[in-house]
Chain A
Amino acid sequence: MHSAVRVLKSLRGAVIPVLLLGWWEYNAHRDALHAYAFVPLEQVGAAFYELLVSGDLWLDLKGSLLRTSLGLATGVALGIGTGLLMAFSRLALTLINPLYQSVRQVPLLGLTPLIGLWLGNGEPAKVFIIALAAFYPMVLSTYEGLRNVDVRYREVGQVYGLSGIQSFRRVLLPAALPALFAGLQQAVPFAWIVAVAGELLFNVGAGLGNLMMVAETGAHMDVIMVCVAGITVLGTAMSQLVSSVSKHLQPWRQ
C-alpha cells in the first residue's frame, strides 16, 4: 500500500510531459492545417522506423559522427598544444593570446561564410568549424589548468629529483587533468552541436543536419523530430561519456 503511494508520487514528474504530448496528439488529429505542424506521434514513430530500415538514418548519423570525431580530435590536439605553448613560453603567450582572445569573440557560426569562401562547402569547411569549436575551450582549460598547479606539488617533484619530463608526467599532468576534463566537457557537446549546425549551413554531403534541411524543404516534420531527438540523445550521451571517463581516470576526485 505504502509503496504504491510512493510509485504514484514518483510519477508526478511525468504529468506535464504526458499532458503536453496529449495536447500535441489532440492538435495533430484536429484538421489538416494543424496536422502540418503537429505531426501525429505515431507518424514520428513510423518515420523513425522507416529511416532505420532504409538505412538513411544510419548513413547520415555515420557522416555526422565521423565528421565530429575528426574535427574534435584535431581541435582538441591543437588546443592542448597551443595551451601548453602558452603556459610554458612567455613569448608564445604574448603573441598568441591577443589573437586568440579577439578571434574568439566572433560568433563561431558567423565564420561560416568566410570559411565557405576559403574552403568551399565541402568536408574541409565542416571539419574546420568543428575543430574550432573544440579548440577554443581546450586552449583556455589547458593553459589555466597548468598555470594553477600548486607550487607545492612542484616542490615535491624537485625534492624527489624528477627530470623535466618526469615532473611533467608525474606532477603537472595529473594536477592539470581536472581542468583538461572540464575543457573536454565543454568541447565535446559543443563540437557535436556545431557539427549539426555546420551541416545546416554547408548543405552538402551526408549528415543529420542535411537530413533535416531536406526534410524541412519537403515539410516532413516527422523526420525533423526524429533528428532533433537523436541529436539531443547523442549530445547528452557524449557529455555522460566524458564525465564517466573523467571519473574513471581521476578516482581520487570522488
Chain B
Amino acid sequence: MNATTIDVDTSRGRTTRLTAPGTGSPHSFLPARPRIERSRLEGLAWLVSPLLLLAAWTCATRAHWFSEQILVPPQAVLDAFHEVWDSGELPGDLKISLYRLLLGFSLGGAAGAALGALLATSRQAQIYLRPAFHVLRQVPTLSLIPMFILLFGIGETLKIVIIVKSTIFPVAVATLEGVANIPRDYREVGRAYRLGLWTQFRRILFPATVPALLTGARIALGRSWMVLVAVELLAADTGIGQMMEIGRQMLRLDIVMVGVIVTGSLGFAFDLGLRWLERALLPWKHS
C-alpha cells in the first residue's frame, strides 16, 4: 500500500483518501492524481459521463430527434441482444469467432516466440533470416486480405492464416527484444555456475523474457481480434463480424450495436485477462 496515502474521516462520516501533495505522480506539475488509490466518491465520478450519455440517448430517442435508422432506443439494443442470443445466432457466431482467434493466436504465438528466440540466440539465423524477417513484418496484415482470399478462398484457412500473420510478428519482435535485453551478467552467472542448457533456459532466459513476451502477446491479441472482425466483415458466412455485416445489410441498427458492444467487451476482456496473467506471473513488476 502507498505509505503516503492516508484515510481520513470527514465530518460527514465518509472516508476520504488523502494523498500527500506531489506523491501521486512525483514529477508532475499538475495536481497529484493517484492512479490506483481513489476515494469511493471519485470512483463514482467515473460513472457520470456514461450515465449522462445513456440519459441523452434515451431522451433523443423518446423525443424522436433522429430517425429509427440512425438511432434506436437503448431498450431496442437490449431486446436485439436477447433476440440474437436466444435464437442461438450470437452464441454460435461467438463460438466460431473465438475458436478462430484462439487457434490462430496459439499457432502464431508459438511460432512467433520460437522465431524470436531463434533470431535472438543464433548468429546464423540472424545472418540469413533477419533481412527477410524485417521486410515481411512491415507488410500490413489488413492489406493482405484480398491476396489471401485469392490464395486460400474464404473458408476457415483464410481466417487462421490471417490471424497467424497478425500474431507472429509482434510476438517474435517482443521475444527478440526480451532476449536481447537480458543483462549479460545473468548469462555469465549461468555459465559460471555451469548450468545445463535447459536450466539456463528455465532459470534465466525464460523469466527474463516473459515480461516482453506477455506485452507482445497483449498487442498481438488486440490486433488479431480487430483483424479477425475485419475479415469476417469482408468474407465469411459465420462469426461475429458476419453477424454485424448482415445486420448492416438489413439496416438492423440494433443488431449492429449489439455486435459493437460485444466485440468491444471481448476486446476489453482479452486485455484484462492478459494483464491479470502478467500480474500473476510477474508479481515483482507490480508490487
Q: Do A and B bind each other?
A: yes
Inter-chain contact A200/B234, CB cutoff 8 Å: yes
Given the contacts A17-B132, A107-B229, A110-B259, A197 and B142 also touching, CB distance less than 8 Å:
yes
A149-B229 Cα distance, complex, nearest whole Å: 38
Q: Is the CB–CB distance between B146 and A98 below 8 Å? A: no
Which of B135, B150, B247 has the most chain A CB atoms inside 10 A of its CB?
Answer: B150
B264 contacts A106, C-beta separation under 8 Å: yes
A109, A110, A212 pick with most chain B CB within 10 angstroms: A110
Instruction: Tell me, in angstroms, the Cα distance from A153 to B30 when the chains sit together.
Output: 12
Q: What chain A residues lie within 8 Å of B265 (beta carbons)?
A: 105
Main secondary structure of the interface of A (DSSP, over half): helix
Beyond A110-B229, A110-B241, A228-B144, whether A13 also contacts B128 by CB under 8 A is: yes
Known: A116-B248, A228-B143, A231-B143. A151 touches B49 (CB 8 A): no
Whether B132 lies near A151 (C-beta < 8 A) is no
Please tell me if A235 contacts chain B, counting CB pairs below 8 Å. Answer: yes
A213 within 8 A of B: yes
Which B residues lie within 8 Å of A225 (CB)?
147
The CA-CA distance from A108 to B241 in the complex, in Å, is 12
A236 touches B (CB below 8 Å) = yes
Asked whether, in the complex, the Cβ of A118 is within 8 Å of the Cβ of B138, the reply is no
For residue A228, which residues in chain B have a CB less than 8 angstroms away from its CB?
139, 143-144, 147
Task: Looking at the assembled complex, report how far the CB atom of B192 sits from the nearest CB atom of chain A, in whole angstroms.
Answer: 33
Whether the Cβ atoms of B145 and A200 lie closer than 8 Å is yes
Q: Count residues of chain A with CB under 8 A from any CB of chain B.
A: 63
Contacts of A245 in B (CB 8 A): none
Beyond A117-B253, A148-B25, whether A90 also contacts B264 by CB under 8 A is: no
**By the criterion CB–CB under 8 Å, are B30 and A146 in contact?**
yes
Query: Is B276 in contact with chain A by the CB < 8 A criterion?
Result: no
Given contacts A97-B46, A201-B233, contact A102 B144 (CB under 8 A): no
Q: Is the CB of A15 within 8 A of B128?
A: yes
The reply on A94 being an interface residue by CB < 8 A is yes
Q: How large is the interface on B (under 10, 10 to 19, 20 to 34, 35 or more residues)?
A: 35 or more
Closest to A193 in B: B140
Q: Is the interface of B mostly helix, strand, loop or mixed?
A: helix
B151 contacts A by Cβ under 8 Å: yes
B170, chain A: closest CB distance, angstroms: 13
B286 beta carbon closer than 8 Å to chain A: no
B233 touches A17 (CB 8 A): no
**Known A37-B151, A117-B251, A151-B22: A98·B47 in contact at CB below 8 Å:** yes
Bound Cα distance A111, B225 (Å): 13
Distance between Cα atoms of A148 and B35 in the complex (Å): 13
**A80 on the B face (CB < 8 A):** no
- Contact assessment for A17 and B251 in the assembled complex, using a CB-CB cutoff below 8 Å: no
Q: Is the CB of B146 within 8 A of A20?
A: no
Instruction: Contact check, A107 vs B225: say whether CB atoms are below 8 A apart.
Output: yes
The docked-state distance in angstroms from the alpha carbon of A216 to that of B140 is 17
Q: Is the CB of B25 within 8 A of A147?
A: yes
Among B22, B132, B267, residue most surrounded by chain A Cβ atoms (within 10 Å): B132
Q: Does A99 contact B (CB under 8 A)?
A: yes
Do B49 and A94 touch across chains, with their CB atoms under 8 A apart? yes
Asked whether, in the complex, the Cβ of A212 is within 8 Å of the Cβ of B132, the reply is no
Could you tell me the distance in whole angstroms from the C-beta of A156 to the nearest C-beta in chain B?
11
- Residues of A contacting B257 in the complex (Cβ-Cβ under 8 angstroms): 114
Closest chain B CB from A172 CB (angstroms): 8
Is there contact, CB below 8 Å, between A213 and B146?
Answer: yes
Interface residues of B in 239-253 (CB under 8 A from A): 241, 244-245, 247-248, 251, 253
Interface string of B246-287 (1 = CB under 8 A from A): 011001010011011101110110010000000000000000
Q: Does A14 reach chain B (CB closer than 8 Å)?
A: yes
Which of B140, B144, B253 has the most A CB atoms < 10 Å from its CB?
A: B140
Closest to B49 in A: A95
Q: How far is the CA of A218 from the CA of B227 in the complex (A)?
A: 24
CA distance A99 to B267 in the complex (A): 15
Query: What is the bound-complex CA distance between A93 and B48, given in angstroms?
Result: 11
| Contact across chains for B128 and A148 when beta carbons are under 8 A apart | no
A82-130 contacts to B, CB under 8 A, are 87-88, 90, 93-99, 102-103, 105-114, 116-118
Q: Which chain A positions have C-beta within 8 A of B271?
A: 105
Partner of A231, one of B127, B140, B268: B140
Q: Which of A12, A94, A117, A196 is the one whose CB lies under 8 Å from B140? A: A196
8 A–B contacts from the bound complex (CB under 8 Å): A105-B268, A106-B264, A107-B225, A109-B229, A150-B28, A196-B143, A200-B234, A212-B146
State the B residues within 8 Å of A (CB): 22, 25, 27-31, 33, 45-50, 52-53, 69-70, 127-132, 135, 138-140, 142-147, 149-151, 222, 225-227, 229-230, 233-234, 241, 244-245, 247-248, 251, 253, 256-257, 259-261, 263-265, 267-268, 271
Q: A106-B260, A109-B230, A197-B142 are in contact. List 10 more A-B contacts (CB 8 A).
A: A17-B131, A94-B49, A106-B261, A107-B225, A107-B263, A117-B251, A118-B70, A147-B28, A149-B29, A196-B142
